[in-house]
Amino acid sequence: MSASATSPAQAPANSRSRVLVASLIGTTIEFYDFYIYATAAVLVFPSLFFPNSDPTTALLSSFAVFGAAMVARPIGAVVFGHLGDRLGRKGTLVASLLTMGIATFLIGVLPTYEQAGWIATALLVLMRLAQGFALGGEWSGAALVATENAPKNKRALYGTFPQLGAPLGFIIGNGLFLLIGALLPSSAGADPSQPSEAFLSWGWRIPFLFSAVMVVIGLWVRMRLVEAPVFAKTREAGLVRKLPMATVFRSHWKELILGTFFMLATYVLFYLMTTFSLSYGRTAKDAAVPGLGYSYTTFVLMMIFGVLFFAAFTLISGPLADKYGRRSTLIWVTVAITVFGLVWVPLIGMGTLGVVLWLVLGFTLMGMTFGPMGALLPELFPTSVRYTGSGISYNVSSILGAAVAPFIAVALWEAGDGSPWMVGVYLSSMALLTLVALLIGKETKDIALDEGETPAGVDATADRDGSPAAT
């Protein structure tokens, strides 16, 4: 295969700072939007959009809408993956971020059930589906920007930067809710775990509207990117696939399945520690299904303290995965998650110190398991189908691990008469499935990202599903 005078190797390269910022800012916005929705789903959406239900049913209904986005995410992964593998990473990332920003902003101006009846609830579901659709293309694109522009021996380190958006988004989103809650406190004598009338009326909308500012910044950064040399090389060689999804399902179905289960424990842990824990932590001890009884402000501050460990260990996991391998690192972390799920009740039974330790351990493990995924999932697939393959694995896992996790957790919490021991067992069970997948899988840290484009005996101008490559 001869190089032309305009070889991709001569294409302008992205600077390290541009790569890291572009991959970080998009996922920060993604997780910021997730956290503000998750917080609103616990604090205000049950009463604003499901007012005719009892508290537990309203919460479950709110979580069901929350989970609806996870169903839309694989669809977004297919659509944006197709565009990203056919047309390039840059434009696709811009489109996904813009879609996400518009949907989030519109949630901030929705009427409530009292104002518009079922139409308000339907619009909330529609916007949540739009968020999920956009998110389907966001993570994989950001991970590819980081890893495809990284030195080979630092791919896991670069891959932690899009992952770092999760703790940063949490701190920004929940910090803003805390600030608004402090400015609009509950009236004297009211339940401090419940938002004030002003918060319910208009205060909750501010974080959704503020997302527009972050999206504008993110768009400005991403518009300055150029395509990574590894993708430019694939396009120059005529290896861009006409139907990336067909190629993935035909030739890389095993990697799809393994990648989905690699992420399973990560997703379950993530949503239990962020969404379920907020419900459990602020539910009164004398409620029908008792919780820990902390005020909203106190418990969120405890969570933010834990998230600092999430951020730190996300970054620490990158060099470890580069040195020891993604698979070896994740095997040990997944074993630790399995054990962690079994010690929930003893930890929480130790009082406030135990609850803080529970949060710190959970978020530390979250950083250690989430960090290496930014490199591992993209490394499972060749460049021509990497956006599609990594996106489908990541987002199908969101259905198995994320869409149902808050719903299952609330049901198990209720079945346990307020004790979360079954929720911990659920986490351990999902971790065991991930552990099996990791034991079956192979190490990817030493592969070259442009390897495997044209296997021996296969025409470079044809898709592996028999259709011509795109030109």
Q: How high is the pLDDT of residue 54? A: 67
Q: What is the pLDDT of residue 5?
A: 40
Q: If you average pLDDT over residues 398-424, what whole number do you get?
A: 88
Q: How much is the pLDDT for 470?
A: 52
In the chain, pLDDT over 70 holds for what percent of residues?
Answer: 90
Eight-class DSSP state of 272: I
User: With bands split at pLDDT 50, 70 and 90, how would you rate the model's confidence at 457?
Assistant: very low
Tell me the average pLDDT across 144-164.
92
In whole numbers, what is the pLDDT of the chain averaged over residues? 85
pTM of the predicted protein model: 0.84
Residue of 280, 440, 283, 266 whose CA lies nearest to 336: 266
Check whether 287 has a pLDDT greater than 50.
yes
- List Cβ neighbours of 126 (8 Å cut-off, separation of 6 or more): none
Token pair belonging to 291: 């919780």
Bridge partners, 468 (sequence order): 462
19-33, 61-75, 403-417, 425-439: range with lowest mean pLDDT: 61-75
Q: Which two tokens stand for residue 246?
A: 């067909």
pLDDT number for residue 3: 41
Q: Which of 462, 470, 444 shows the shortest CA–CA distance to 159?
A: 444
Q: At 462, is the secondary structure helix, strand, or coil?
A: strand
Helices within 263-295 (DSSP H only): 264-271, 277-282
pLDDT above 90 coverage of the chain, percent: 44
Q: Read off the pLDDT of residues 221-256 as tens digits, 9 standing for 90 and up.
A: 888 878 778 888 888 878 888 889 999 999 999 999
Q: Measure the CA–CA gap between 267 and 406, rounded to whole angstroms.
A: 11
Rounded Cα gap, residues 108 and 161, in angstroms: 28
DSSP for 239-259 reads: ---S-HHHHHHHH-HHHHHHH
Q: In this model, does residue 422 exceed pLDDT 90?
A: yes
Q: Which residues contact 314 (CB under 8 A, 6 or more apart)?
A: 160, 163, 164, 166, 167, 367, 368, 370, 371
Give the pLDDT of residue 45: 84
Q: Which residue has the tokens 């295969």?
A: 1
Coil, strand or helix at 468: strand
